[in-house]
Amino acid sequence: MTDHQQTVFITGATSGFGRATAERFAAAGWRVVATGRRTERLEALATRLRNDGADIHIATLDVRDSDAVQKVVADLPAAFANITCLVNNAGLALAPEPSQSVDLADWHTMIDTNITGLVNVTHALLPALIRTGKGASIVNLGSVAGQWPYPGGHVYGASKAFVEQFSYNLRCDLLGTGVRVTDVAPGLSQTEFTLVRTKGDQSASDRLYSGTDPLQPEDVAAQIFHVATLPEHVNINRMEIMATRQAWSPFAIDRD
């Protein structure tokens, strides 16, 4: 592997968008720092990508733990320390029921992961990204739920609205550094999202994707790679992606 290689740092790389993003960047010859909470999945990913000739470093990480985030960044091997792209993918949705029926702990978990975790990782890696300068990118995984409300969206949608506004505000603060920021906001995607949200209800997940053609993780990974590899003078502020077979619904109306 040569020294001119670029390095991507990915959170939540154990499944879904994160894993597909690691595969996409590795296939293009980037060094990959893959992080996530499930060590065995990280190890399996690393083995597979190394067998394909990729240069990958893995670290078990819960993004909610700011001290752990700082340590993972500080302990990066020299070959992986010059970060070109940060993909803030770690996040989750819980509690699809109405707000008045939700366990408060589920709200806290979403806030701690989707907001606090995003902030922890971004803050830790900003110095490295600014050192890289022109061509560096921060790609934050938002959601259509950040702009389009729906029943049961409550804190999840609000947390993704935070991702959008945080991305815009980062753009303002990073003006002149060369570092780009993009909010990538997918719609209906066939990942572990619903399985996690329903705490393991496979039938609920199967029903959501049945009879339609949702986005696949590789579709979203391709767009993440696209925005991270544009000419250095180009910044896509926000990219909202839906499956062709998904659109918006009319307003709900309560009638007598």
CATH number of 7-241: 3.40.50.720
Instruction: Tell whether the model's pLDDT for residue 196 goes beyond 90.
Output: no
Instruction: Tell whether the model's pLDDT for residue 2 goes beyond 60.
Output: no
DSSP at 114: I
CA 120 to chain centre: 14
**168 classed as catalytic:** no
Q: What is the pLDDT of residues 42-78, one digit of tens each?
A: 999 999 999 999 999 999 999 999 999 999 999 999 9
Assign 195 a pLDDT band (cuts: 50, 70, 90). Answer: confident
Instruction: Tell whether the model's pLDDT for residue 4 goes beyond 70.
Output: no
* Amino acid 3: pLDDT: 47
Sorted by where each begins, the domain ranges of the chain are: 7-241
CA 109 to chain centre: 16
* Amino acid 199: pLDDT: 85
What percent of the chain clears pLDDT 90, i.e. is strictly above it? 91
Question: What angle (nearest 5°) sits at the alpha carbon of residue 9, between those of residues 25 and 36?
Answer: 105
Mean pLDDT of 183-200: 90
111-114: which pairs have CB atoms within 8 A and are 24 or more residues apart?
A: 111/155, 111/159, 112/64, 113/63, 113/64, 114/156, 114/159, 114/160, 114/162, 114/163
Q: What is the pLDDT of residues 221-250, one digit of tens each?
A: 999 999 999 999 999 999 999 999 999 999
